[in-house]
C-alpha cells in the first residue's frame, strides 16, 4: 500500500521531510507534472497528518473530489495522488475532511502559482525550461565578497513604483523594461523586492502570506519573474527578496488549522498568536515546519536565482513576549523569554543557505539587542552576514527632526552609533517602514523652511553614505518625495518637474556614483580601523568631522548640522597636501546656495585636533563636505 502511494516519490525524501532536513522539499511536495508508468499527469503531495481524508478538487473534476481521494503514505502524515490527463494551468485545492468530520478547502502550501486575488485556488505550474543567461554575474559575485565591496540597495514595492491605474500593476516584464535601467543609471548595486509571495491583501504589502512558494499573480508569472532577475544580473544588479518566515495570515484557504488542527502554527495559542499583527507564528519546534521554511529559502535561490534574503521581524521571532500582553506570555525550558526553537531555526537556516550558496546575502531585520547576529554559528552567532542597524536609523531620524538650535543638546544621537558600529556587519536602512503611517516622508521629517528641508536632507544623505555600514534607500526617497508612501498609488514622479526635486535626484545619483568609486567608504566597513574621529565633541556648533579609510586611501568628512554659517572653520587632517572638495551638498547643481565653492583646500602646518596639519573651511548652514587628498599634489 505504501509503495502504491509513492507515485515516484523517494522514501528518503519523505523521511528527511519528517525529520526536518529536507532542504529541497519543493521538488516533491505540491503539484508536479510528471510521467508515471509512461502516463503523463500531475502528482499531488501534501502534508496533513491529522486529516481523516484528503481529496484533490479542481476544474478537471468540477470541484468534486469523490474520485480523487489521496492515499496516505504510511506514518509520514503525507498524502499523494497521481491524476492522469491533466496539465499545467489546472486550478486545484485540497479538500480535507478533519478528524471531527468537518470539510475544509485549502490552497496548496507548496503551490508555485495561484489565481489572482480575491480568488484563491492554486495553479499547476511547471517551473523548468527557462534558459538563464547570468553565468557572468555568478562569476563576478565569487570574485567580489560583499563585506569589502559596495552594497547600495534600492528597496522597491512592485505594486507602487509605477502603476498603469488603480490595481493595474506593472508586470515583471514591464518592470524589467523600466525599473532595471533606472536602477542601473542611478548606480544601485541591488534591488530589494518587498515580499512577492502570494498574499490576499494588497495593504499587507506582502508581509501576511498564504502561499510562501507562490510568485504573486498580481505582477505576472514565475517565468516573468525569472526573466526580471536574469535581466537584473545582466545589468550587474543583484536581487534581494524580503522574506517573511516569522508569521502567516489567518485566511481560511491558507495555513491556519491546515488539517483541522494547529499544524503550522503549533498547539499553544498563546505562543502562536501575534495579536498586534492579527497573524500566527510558525511552530519552529516542529521538524516538518523547518523543512517547509528552509526549503522555501533555498527555493528562491534555486529556482529564481535570488542573491539574498532580507529576513523580516527577527526580533519578533526570537522573543516570546514581543508585542504581547502579559497574559499571553509563555516561557522557554529555562524560564526565559527567548524562543529557543526560533534561534535554532535561524542558525540552521543560515548554515544551510551558506552551504548551498556561499555568496548569498542573508540580512537580519532585527531591532533587538541580541548579540552576534552576524557572527558564524560555530562562534555562537546566528549566522547572518548582515544586520539592519535600527539603532542608528532611529537615533538619526530623531536627531534630524529636532529644531537646529536643539541639536546641540542631543549631540550623542549622531555619535553614539560609532560605539557599536563594528559589533556587527551593518546595513544602514532608510526603508519603507520610516515613511508610512503618519511618520512623514524623509524630506518632511526635516524642520524649517522649504529650502532648509532640502538642504538638511542632502546633509543627512551625505552623513548616511559616509557612516560605516552598507546602504539601503526606499524608492522615492532619492528625489525627496514630500508625501509619505501611499501603497495604493504610484510614486510622485511628477515632482521631478520641479527644480528642487530634480536637483535632489541629481545629488543622490552623484552621491551613489561617488560611493561606488571610493574604496574608503566600503573597503573596510567591518573593521574599526576604517573610521577615525577628527572632532566628535563639537556639540555647541553641531558640527562633526571624521576620516574614512580604505586599504590605501582616505576621505575627510565634515558635516554642519546647524543653521549657522561658520567661516574659517579649522579641522586637523592626517597628511599634508591639497584637499579636493569632491562632494559639497550646498553646491548649486544640487539645489544649494553656495555660488563661490572652494574646490581645493591647502593644508597648513598648524596643529589641530591631534594632527600636525590642518585646513580652514567655510561651512554654510546644513552642509556636508567630503574631501580627498589630491594624489598629484607635491605640497
Q: What is the mean pLDDT of residues 177-191?
A: 98
First-to-last alpha carbon distance for the chain, in angstroms, is: 88
Q: What is the mean pLDDT of residues 248-269?
A: 96
CA-CA-CA-CA torsion sign (469, 471, 472, 478): positive
pLDDT of the residue at 7: 73
Q: Read off the pLDDT band of 5 (50, 70, 90).
A: low
Residue with cell 484557504: 253
**Structural domain contains residue 514:** no
**Structural domain contains residue 45:** yes
CA-CA-CA-CA torsion sign (170, 134, 222, 247): negative
Catalytic residue among 95, 265, 365, 523: 365
Average pLDDT of the chain is: 95
End of a domain among 123, 155, 173? 123
428 close to 393: Cβ distance less than 8 angstroms? yes
The percent of residues above 70 in pLDDT, for the chain, comes to: 98
pLDDT of the residue at 2: 43
Q: What is the mean pLDDT of residues 226-236?
A: 98
Q: What is the mean pLDDT of residues 182-186?
A: 98
pLDDT of the residue at 297: 98
pLDDT of the residue at 145: 87
**Structural domain contains residue 358:** no
**Pairing status of strand 426-430 against strand 470-474:** parallel
Q: Is 88 a catalytic residue?
A: no
628 close to 582: Cβ distance less than 8 angstroms? yes
pLDDT of the residue at 307: 98
End of a domain among 73, 107, 123? 123
End of a domain among 79, 96, 123? 123
The whole-angstrom separation of Cα 162 and Cα 182 is: 12
Three-state DSSP at 619 gives strand
Supply φ then ψ for residue 212, to 5 degrees. -70, -25
Give the DSSP H or E segment for 392.
helix 390-400
Give residue-wise pLDDT tens across range 17-75.
Answer: 999 999 999 999 999 999 888 899 999 999 999 999 999 999 999 999 999 999 999 99
pLDDT of the residue at 594: 79
CATH number at 624 reads 2.60.40.1180
Q: What is the mean pLDDT of residues 237-260?
A: 97
Asked if the model's pLDDT at residue 135 lies above 60, the reply is yes
Q: What is the mean pLDDT of residues 157-179?
A: 95
Three-state DSSP at 40 gives strand
591 close to 504: Cβ distance less than 8 angstroms? yes
**Structural domain contains residue 571:** yes
Number of domains in the chain: 2
Q: Read off the pLDDT band of 3 (50, 70, 90).
A: very low
121 close to 107: Cβ distance less than 8 angstroms? yes
Q: What is the mean pLDDT of residues 551-579?
A: 96
Give the DSSP H or E segment for 290.
helix 287-302
Window from 199-203, 362-366, 536-540 with minimum mean pLDDT: 199-203
Q: Read off the pLDDT band of 169 (50, 70, 90).
A: very high
CATH number at 51 reads 2.60.40.10
**Structural domain contains residue 100:** yes
577 close to 603: Cβ distance less than 8 angstroms? yes
Supply φ then ψ for residue 623, to 5 degrees. -120, 140
Q: Read off the pLDDT band of 495 (50, 70, 90).
A: very high
pLDDT of the residue at 63: 96
**Structural domain contains residue 568:** yes
Radius of gyration, CA atoms only, the chain:
27
Sheet containing 247-248, strands listed edge to edge, beginning at the edge strand earlier in sequence = 247-248, 279-281, 273-274
142 close to 107: Cβ distance less than 8 angstroms? no
**Structural domain contains residue 559:** yes
**Structural domain contains residue 230:** no
Give residue-wise pLDDT tens across range 451-471.
Answer: 999 999 999 999 999 999 999
Q: Is 312 a catalytic residue?
A: yes
Q: Read off the pLDDT band of 1 (50, 70, 90).
A: very low
Catalytic residue among 242, 312, 395, 424: 312
Three-state DSSP at 184 gives helix
The whole-angstrom separation of Cα 325 and Cα 72 is: 41
Provide the domain limits for residue 85.
2-123
624 close to 581: Cβ distance less than 8 angstroms? no
Amino acid at each position: 500500500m505504501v509503495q502504491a502511494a509513492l507515485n515516484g516519490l523517494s522514501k528518503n525524501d519523505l523521511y528527511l521531510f519528517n525529520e526536518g532536513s529536507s532542504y529541497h522539499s519543493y521538488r516533491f511536495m505540491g503539484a508536479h507534472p510528471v510521467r508515471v508508468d509512461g502516463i503523463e499527469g500531475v502528482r499531488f503531495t501534501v502534508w496533513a497528518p491529522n486529516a481523516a481524508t484528503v481529496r484533490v478538487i479542481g476544474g478537471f473534476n468540477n470541484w468534486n473530489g469523490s474520485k480523487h481521494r489521496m492515499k496516505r503514505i504510511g506514518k509520514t502524515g503525507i498524502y499523494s495522488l497521481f491524476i492522469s490527463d491533466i496539465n499545467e494551468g489546472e486550478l486545484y485545492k485540497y479538500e480535507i475532511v478533519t478528524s471531527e468530520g468537518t470539510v475544509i478547502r485549502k490552497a496548496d502550501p507548496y503551490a508555485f502559482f495561484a489565481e489572482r486575488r480575491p480568488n484563491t485556488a492554486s495553479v499547476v505550474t511547471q517551473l523548468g525550461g527557462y534558459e538563464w543567461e547570468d553565468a557572468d554575474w555568478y562569476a563576478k559575485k565569487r570574485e567580489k565578497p560583499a563585506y569589502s565591496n559596495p552594497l547600495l540597495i534600492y528597496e522597491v514595492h512592485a505594486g507602487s513604483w509605477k502603476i498603469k491605474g488603480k490595481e493595474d500593476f506593472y508586470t515583471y516584464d514591464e518592470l524589467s523594461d523600466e525599473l532595471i535601467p533606472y536602477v542601473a543609471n542611478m548606480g544601485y548595486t541591488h534591488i530589494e523586492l518587498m515580499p512577492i509571495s502570494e498574499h490576499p491583501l494588497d495593504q499587507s504589502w506582502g508581509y501576511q502570506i498564504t502561499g510562501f512558494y507562490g510568485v504573486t499573480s498580481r505582477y505576472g508569472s514565475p517565468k516573468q519573474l525569472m526573466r526580471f532577475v536574469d535581466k537584473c544580473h545582466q545589468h550587474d544588479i543583484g536581487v534581494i527578496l524580503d522574506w517573511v518566515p516569522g508569521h502567516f495570515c489567518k485566511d481560511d484557504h491558507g495555513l491556519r488549522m491546515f488539517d483541522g488542527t494547529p499544524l503550522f502554527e503549533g498547539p499553544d495559542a498563546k505562543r502562536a498568536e501575534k495579536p498586534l499583527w492579527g497573524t500566527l507564528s510558525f511552530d519552529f519546534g516542529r521538524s516538518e515546519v523547518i523543512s517547509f521554511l528552509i526549503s522555501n529559502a533555498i527555493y528562491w535561490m534555486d529556482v529564481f536565482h535570488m542573491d539574498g534574503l532580507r529576513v523580516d521581524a527577527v526580533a519578533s521571532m526570537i522573543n516570546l513576549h514581543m508585542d504581547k500582553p502579559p497574559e499571553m506570555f509563555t516561557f522557554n525550558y529555562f524560564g526565559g523569554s527567548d524562543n529557543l526553537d526560533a534561534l535554532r531555526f535561524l542558525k540552521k537556516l543560515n548554515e544551510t543557505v551558506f552551504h548551498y550558496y556561499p555568496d548569498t546575502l542573508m540580512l537580519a531585520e532585527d531591532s533587538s539587542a541580541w548579540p552576534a547576529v552576524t557572527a558564524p554559528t560555530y562562534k555562537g552567532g546566528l549566522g547572518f552576514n548582515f544586520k539592519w542597524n535600527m539603532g542608528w536609523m532611529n537615533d538619526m531620524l530623531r536627531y534630524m527632526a529636532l529644531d537646529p538650535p536643539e541639536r546641540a543638546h542631543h549631540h550623542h544621537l549622531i555619535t553614539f552609533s560609532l560605539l557599536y558600529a563594528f559589533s556587527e556587519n551593518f546595513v544602514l536602512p532608510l526603508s519603507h517602514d520610516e515613511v508610512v503611517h503618519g511618520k512623514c516622508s524623509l524630506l518632511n521629517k526635516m524642520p524649517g523652511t522649504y529650502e532648509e528641508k532640502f538642504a538638511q536632507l542632502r546633509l543627512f544623505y551625505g552623513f548616511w553614505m559616509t557612516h560605516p555600514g552598507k546602504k539601503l534607500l526606499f524608492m522615492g526617497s532619492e528625489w525627496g518625495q514630500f508625501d509619505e508612501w501611499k501603497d495604493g498609488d504610484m510614486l510622485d514622479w511628477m515632482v521631478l518637474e520641479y527644480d528642487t526635486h530634480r536637483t535632489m535626484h541629481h545629488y543622490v545619483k552623484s552621491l551613489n556614483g561617488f560611493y561606488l568609486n571610493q574604496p574608503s567608504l566600503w573597503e573596510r566597513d567591518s573593521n574599526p580601523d576604517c573610521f577615525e574621529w577628527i572632532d566628535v565633541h563639537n556639540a555647541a556648533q553641531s558640527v562633526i568631522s571624521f576620516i574614512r579609510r580604505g586599504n590605501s586611501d582616505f576621505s575627510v568628512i565634515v558635516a554642519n548640522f546647524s543653521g549657522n554659517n561658520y567661516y574659517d572653520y579649522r579641522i586637523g587632517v592626517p597628511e599634508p597636501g591639497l584637499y579636493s572638495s569632491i562632494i559639497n551638498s550646498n553646491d548649486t547643481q544640487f539645489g544649494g546656495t553656495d555660488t563661490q565653492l572652494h574646490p581645493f583646500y591647502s593644508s597648513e602646518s598648524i596643529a589641530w585636533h591631534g594632527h600636525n596639519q590642518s585646513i580652514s573651511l567655510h561651512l554654510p548652514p546644513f552642509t556636508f563636505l567630503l574631501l580627498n587628498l589630491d594624489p598629484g599634489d607635491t605640497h
